[in-house]
Structure 1
Amino acid sequence: MTFPPARLQEHPRERPDVGPGVLTVALFAVAAFGVLGLALWFGGGTPRPAIEGLPAPDVVTMVGLPAVRLLHDVCAVATVGTLLVSLWAPAEQAGRIARSAGPWALGWAASAALTEVLTLSDFLALPVPETLSSGVLPTFVFHIPQGQAFTLVGLLALVIAAGAYLPLGTGARAGLTGLGVLAVLPPAYVGHSASAADHNLAVSSLMLHIAAVTLWVGGLYGLVTRLRGPVAAVRRFSALALCCFTAAGFSGLVNAWIRVGDPTQLWQSRYGLLVLAKIAALAALGWFGWRHRRRTIVALSSGGGSRPFLRLATGEIGVMAATLGLAVALSRTAPPEASGGVGHQHELLGYVLAPFTPGGLLTVIRPDPIVLFAVVGAAVAYLVRVRRLAGGWPAGRTVAWLIGSLVLLYGLAGGVAAYGPAVFSGHAAQYALVGTAGPALLALGAPLSLRLAVVSRPLSHPLTALGLYAAPYLLLYLTGCFDLAQSSLAVRLVAQAVVVVTGTLFFAVALGVDPLPRAIGVSIRVRTLLGAAAVQVWIALLLFTGPPQGAGWYALLDLPWAPERAGDQRFGALLGPGISLAVIIVLLALLLGRSRAARRRLADQKGG
């Protein structure tokens, strides 16, 4: 596959190297598959002689499964990276670059289908022809989590392939890129980390790790083969790469700690040695990034040409490719045996939870890597923006944003996050914090003024914002989604992200700290906040008088120390909406006080 090089706008006299796409892909393949073979041999994942009398997959499966899985990952990375750099390309090139992601997405879908067949062959310990003739494949595809995951990936990849050929605008291409990032996550959710000692933490860290690596590796690949290093795009990617490096390193260490357990296993087991090799590769990639920031980006900015950047980036892609091969081999290597077992509640919750005590709300924590990275990253981004203003930014806004970030951290990773899936009142308190209190404080921090977010005109309508604020609670408590959100880590994370985003949007519209695309009077803002109060009253009445929520989930959980469920739901009906109502009342008072102060200033100016 060849890639037509983009024109070097900054240096029109500089001729790009011949065939950069072919050379880069060749380097990628040699490094990735070479390291994959070596790591499989070292970790014990290569084919072994079959034991007489026992079923075993054939050599095609033993060799083909890791190879196809690596091909699957490469296609995913190239698809997402190509779509990503299309967002940075000039308008006349963006559509062509996005279309070039189509073949990669088709390869992604095809490799997902092959992975399903080979994975089933590996599960059944049967050669591929016998696996296909067994009649088990439909059951595996539609009813077994591993099969369902790759079926979903294949379908999403086909959607991305179709979308890549459409004449999409920047927003639609950004959505397609985001869909690509989501499409790499299902295998992580059902992979080996799902059986780790703390599988919620292991799965979250692995999903964050894979998403960061996909954007990082894919973005650099697209930058080198499609844009050929324009300085504006390189600067954008450099900021993204730093975030991805931090996320990949942090989440990778968390996942390795869970999987390895005893630190001595890092050098006493083959799995641990492969982990150390991956850490060394990450350190090497950190050096590449440092070198780019110190040398090649400076050369680009000063008119020194893109050749130094492209040469160093091509070597970096080789190391990244080798790391992808190492990661696939690591997934085929058995980790050290963990000591101890897991109890009934551990298997359902995904972690060990001590009996509830009021003090446990302060001492028990559930540090989710995705949550930590998102909230801390947003706080850091806010502080960086404020610092660039060089004064003039109200300190109260910064304080509000930071306190809101702390509220979200506690609500998403503190005691209420730990007990929320097991105790309804904990869930109610959690949603009051992450859906109302935290977002209100974030909105008081004026993130739109710092360009940390953008609100379109349709979303800035008060009725739209109020509807989005109420919608998650309607879905949770009226459609039966509550059980799913309590029992599934992925659904729970999505639901929590939705209430944070919709809550922040609502309070940004209702409070008017930020300038919006439409003018909204104080009386309308007051009525909008009163509408939110009515939503919370409705939630309280529904929970207090309505049917039990999560009865099936709590029956399966069967915690011996759990409170009486009906009484706990009534307590939660008062606790969660009560917290939210208190916050809304304070905001109403703040809004009315600010309005009176503005009228007095206007009257003073007229009188003067």
Structure 2
Amino acid sequence: MKVDRTVALAAVGSVSCVVVVVLWAAGDVYAALGDSDPGRLTSLAFGLVRTLANAAATVTVGALAFGAFVVPAPPKRTRLTAHAYAAVRTAATAATVWCCASGAAIVLSAADASGQSFAVALEHLGGLVDAAEEPKAWICSAVAAAVVAVGARATLTWTTSVLWLVPALAGVLAPVIAGHVANGAWHDVATNAMVWHVPAAAVWIGSLVALRTHLRRPGGGTEVVLQRYRRLTGWCLVVVVLSGAVAGAVLTGPSGMHGGYAVLLLLKAFVCAAVLVLRARWRRPLAAELVAVGLALGASAGLTHLVPPAWSRTRPSPQETVLGYELPDPPSLTEIVLGWRFDLVLGLGAVLLAVAYVVAVRTLLRRGDAWPFGRTAAWLLGCAVVLVATSSGVGRYAAGMFSTHMVAHMSLNMLAPVLLVLGGPLTLALRVLPAGPRQWVTALMHCRAARLFTHPAVAAATFVGSFYVLYFSDLFGAAMRFHWAHQLMNLHFLVSGYVFFWLVIGVDRAPRTLPHLARLGLVFSVMPFHAFFGVILMNKQTVIAEYSYRTLGLTWMPDLLTDQRLGGGIAWATGEIPMLVVVLALLRQWAVADRREAVRFDRATDTGHDDRLDAYNAMLAELSGRKN
């Protein structure tokens, strides 16, 4: 216990020293941006509080991941084991600290952004929060931490502990994607890189803390736990290195590897290299690894305070400020086909899912099992649609033109999900994965949250209702200003479409199975709403998100209303045609199912067995027994 306390103090000391030295030596970093200096004391307090919040958030995410995916769980994934429950309680305690630190960061970030002292910022907190984005992000972080702190403390089941990772990851990402990576040219690439970087770093560092706590308990030092920990954190370390390199390259620029910012980036790179060496020489995690990650956390906190070198060399244009890149020319066939800007979130995700699917199919075929070629083709085409809609010229122009945005929207919401659900990925996973991960998939498929979101009424309302809520309110105009909001919209389109079509024509067995007649009725119930949406857009007399589009200053597209009406026509056409294809596919599945049932009935009759007749006779026998 004494050794662990010494290690913990060394890790905390390394974090604090790096933060204090960086913030004190940096001086006035606000003048370069034309902002007011809130004072050395406010900057130092914000840096330390931000570091505490990030560290607590990291432990929360890592402990939840450790309890769910590292500690051996019961065969049926029902109740948590004692060791998994201890990890979840560690996450709950860390989330409480995270919530308190995020609450303090709300005021300090408002003071830092406005150049005011803490007392003045506290007095005018409402107006300052409304004027800046980072305080809003810390509010989201505090709310997420509070939800996790309360929920994790009351959690006793494995599936619930996994589900708490969703708000935890959202909370740990919020201050990052609203920070300095969300500004300047190429901020779309930097933000996408941090979406990979931050969760991977949180799982790596937080699970290290959870593991050291786990090893002190009786029966905690099992070989299975160490193997799972090394496998999980090894992949996380790879993601941290690659994504950190991309974000660092964007923020430093082609010739920006000098000064304090470059020193901190090199410090993080040195830490990752040192951890790799430690892992190669020793199987068990050492105290030095915990101290090293403390240095990495301190360096990350210092980087958020310093001005990225790329900002001081060029002044971004209005298009670069909003989009991260420029659209100097109107869309042409050449620009759409060749003008790619690779999306590191959805585009890369589509590529990884396609590769994983092909590897799984090859594993199945090598084992001598069959897998329909049509399912493979459907899945790969669906991944290709996602890649093209987010990373080709369609994805580039979707952020600046409503008509192109509608092409991407309908591709992600209507076309890609239809193809993906026909690929049967869950069935393939259950046939290929080993026992542990297979039980994870099965448990998540049958949990209450899955049954809730796959309820026909919920799935249909989310699938259709989001069209009207997003575009006929101020939500779309507000989302146009932020890259992370674009990504969240695209993810919502894809997931809501996948869940709906999973219920209708999905190959995988859904948590809620519907008869074919109910599926057909579900399709017909949403078709009119798609048609009405397109018609309303074509006849609307005001421009949706007009201010956001005017801000971009696209001189080659002066008539926004005409472009919006074109988008309405695209929504109408690309909404109805895929629905008709879905109806035909559903009718075919219905006919095949009836044919199989008829064949099964004929075989049972030929052998002298009739399940329905046996059930009828059993019912008569039961009624006769009751009368006697």
TM-score normalised according to structure 2 size: 0.80
Counterpart for residue 355 of structure 1? 329
Counterpart for residue 454 of structure 1? 445
2:574 to 561, 571, 579: 579
Tell me, in whole angstroms, the C-alpha distance in 1 between the residues paired with 2:262 and 2:476. 39
Deviation string for 1:531-562 (max 9, x for gaps)? 44333222222222235432333333342111
Tell me, in whole angstroms, the C-alpha distance in 2 between the residues paired with 1:454 and 1:167. 19
Structure 1 counterpart SS, 2:209:
helix
1:553 to 548, 551, 568: 548
Offset of 1:133 from its aligned partner? 8.3
Between 444-453 and 215-224, the greater mean CA deviation after superposition: 444-453
CA change 1:154–1:517 in 2 (3 A) is closer
CA change 1:107–1:600 in 2 (3 A) is closer
Offset of 1:23 from its aligned partner? 4.4
CA change 1:356–1:599 in 2 (3 A) is same
Between 324-333 and 375-384, the greater mean CA deviation after superposition: 375-384
Structure 1 counterpart SS, 2:425:
coil
1:80-479 map, 5 Å:
80-88=61-69, 89=71, 91-93=80-82, 94-119=84-109, 122=112, 131-132=119-120, 135-226=123-214, 228-262=220-254, 264-266=255-257, 268-288=258-278, 296=283, 309=284, 312-336=285-309, 338-359=312-333, 360-389=335-364, 390=367, 391-449=369-427, 450-451=429-430, 454=445, 456-479=450-473
Counterpart for residue 590 of structure 1? 585
CA change 1:495–1:230 in 2 (3 A) is farther
Tell me, in whole angstroms, the C-alpha distance in 2 between the residues paired with 1:63 and 1:121. 12
Tell me, in whole angstroms, the C-alpha distance in 1 between the residues paired with 2:473 and 2:263. 48
CA change 1:598–1:331 in 2 (3 A) is closer
Deviation string for 1:327-362 (max 9, x for gaps)? 222233333255333223332333212322232222
* Contact kept? 1:27, 1:318, Cα under 8 Å: yes
* Contact kept? 2:192, 2:344, Cα under 8 Å: yes
CA change 1:352–1:218 in 2 (3 A) is same
* Contact kept? 2:51, 2:297, Cα under 8 Å: yes
* Contact kept? 1:24, 1:225, Cα under 8 Å: no
Tell me, in whole angstroms, the C-alpha distance in 1 between the residues paired with 2:36 and 2:387. 50
Structure 2 counterpart SS, 1:576:
helix
Deviation string for 1:126-182 (max 9, x for gaps)? 665xx4488444433454223222233233323333333324533333232221211
* Contact kept? 2:541, 2:561, Cα under 8 Å: no
Aligned length: 564
* Contact kept? 2:110, 2:132, Cα under 8 Å: no
CA change 1:230–1:401 in 2 (3 A) is farther
Structure 1 counterpart SS, 2:306:
coil
Tell me, in whole angstroms, the C-alpha distance in 2 between the residues paired with 1:382 and 1:86. 27
Offset of 1:405 from its aligned partner? 1.0
Tell me, in whole angstroms, the C-alpha distance in 2 between the residues paired with 1:118 and 1:564. 43
Between 358-367 and 70-79, the greater mean CA deviation after superposition: 358-367
Residue 565, structure 1, aligned to residue 560, structure 2? yes
Offset of 1:510 from its aligned partner? 0.9
Residue 539, structure 1, aligned to residue 533, structure 2? yes
Root-mean-square deviation (Å): 3.3
**Partner AA of 1:257 in structure 2:** A
Structure 2 counterpart SS, 1:70:
helix
Offset of 1:252 from its aligned partner? 1.3
* Contact kept? 1:444, 1:513, Cα under 8 Å: yes
CA change 1:257–1:114 in 2 (3 A) is same
Counterpart for residue 75 of structure 1? 56
Offset of 1:218 from its aligned partner? 1.0
CA change 1:270–1:533 in 2 (3 A) is same
**Partner AA of 2:296 in structure 1:** T
Structure 2 counterpart SS, 1:570:
helix
Offset of 1:404 from its aligned partner? 0.9
* Contact kept? 1:462, 1:510, Cα under 8 Å: no
* Contact kept? 2:347, 2:386, Cα under 8 Å: no
* Contact kept? 1:432, 1:577, Cα under 8 Å: no
Structure 2 counterpart SS, 1:185:
helix
Tell me, in whole angstroms, the C-alpha distance in 2 between the residues paired with 1:383 and 1:447. 11
The gaps in structure 2 that reach 5 residues or longer are 74-79, 431-440, 607-628
Deviation string for 1:300-353 (max 9, x for gaps)? xxxxxxxxx2xx254333322221112222233333255333223332333212
**Partner AA of 1:241 in structure 2:** T
TM-score normalised according to structure 1 size: 0.82
Tell me, in whole angstroms, the C-alpha distance in 1 between the residues paired with 2:170 and 2:106. 19
CA change 1:235–1:475 in 2 (3 A) is farther
Residue identity over aligned pairs, in percent, reads 26
Deviation string for 1:176-235 (max 9, x for gaps)? 222121112222233222333222322332343222211221122212213645444445
Tell me, in whole angstroms, the C-alpha distance in 2 between the residues paired with 1:463 and 1:121. 45
The gaps in structure 1 that reach 5 residues or longer are 1-17, 297-308
**Partner AA of 2:578 in structure 1:** V
Structure 2 counterpart SS, 1:265:
coil
Offset of 1:435 from its aligned partner? 0.6
Between 381-390 and 595-604, the greater mean CA deviation after superposition: 595-604
* Contact kept? 1:202, 1:254, Cα under 8 Å: yes
Between 316-325 and 82-91, the greater mean CA deviation after superposition: 82-91
Counterpart for residue 11 of structure 2? 28
Structure 1 counterpart SS, 2:508:
coil
**Partner AA of 2:546 in structure 1:** A
Deviation string for 1:407-432 (max 9, x for gaps)? 11111222222212221111111111
Between 327-336 and 174-183, the greater mean CA deviation after superposition: 327-336
Offset of 1:500 from its aligned partner? 0.8
Tell me, in whole angstroms, the C-alpha distance in 1 between the residues paired with 2:41 and 2:97. 20
* Contact kept? 2:184, 2:321, Cα under 8 Å: no
Tell me, in whole angstroms, the C-alpha distance in 2 between the residues paired with 1:270 and 1:182. 30
**Partner AA of 1:80 in structure 2:** V
CA change 1:39–1:485 in 2 (3 A) is closer
CA change 1:485–1:62 in 2 (3 A) is closer
CA change 1:404–1:597 in 2 (3 A) is same
* Contact kept? 2:113, 2:132, Cα under 8 Å: no
CA change 1:242–1:55 in 2 (3 A) is closer
Structure 2 counterpart SS, 1:487:
coil
Tell me, in whole angstroms, the C-alpha distance in 2 between the residues paired with 1:384 and 1:23. 46
Tell me, in whole angstroms, the C-alpha distance in 1 between the residues paired with 2:123 and 2:518. 62
1:522 to 516, 523, 530: 516
Between 571-580 and 588-597, the greater mean CA deviation after superposition: 588-597
Tell me, in whole angstroms, the C-alpha distance in 1 between the residues paired with 2:502 and 2:114. 54
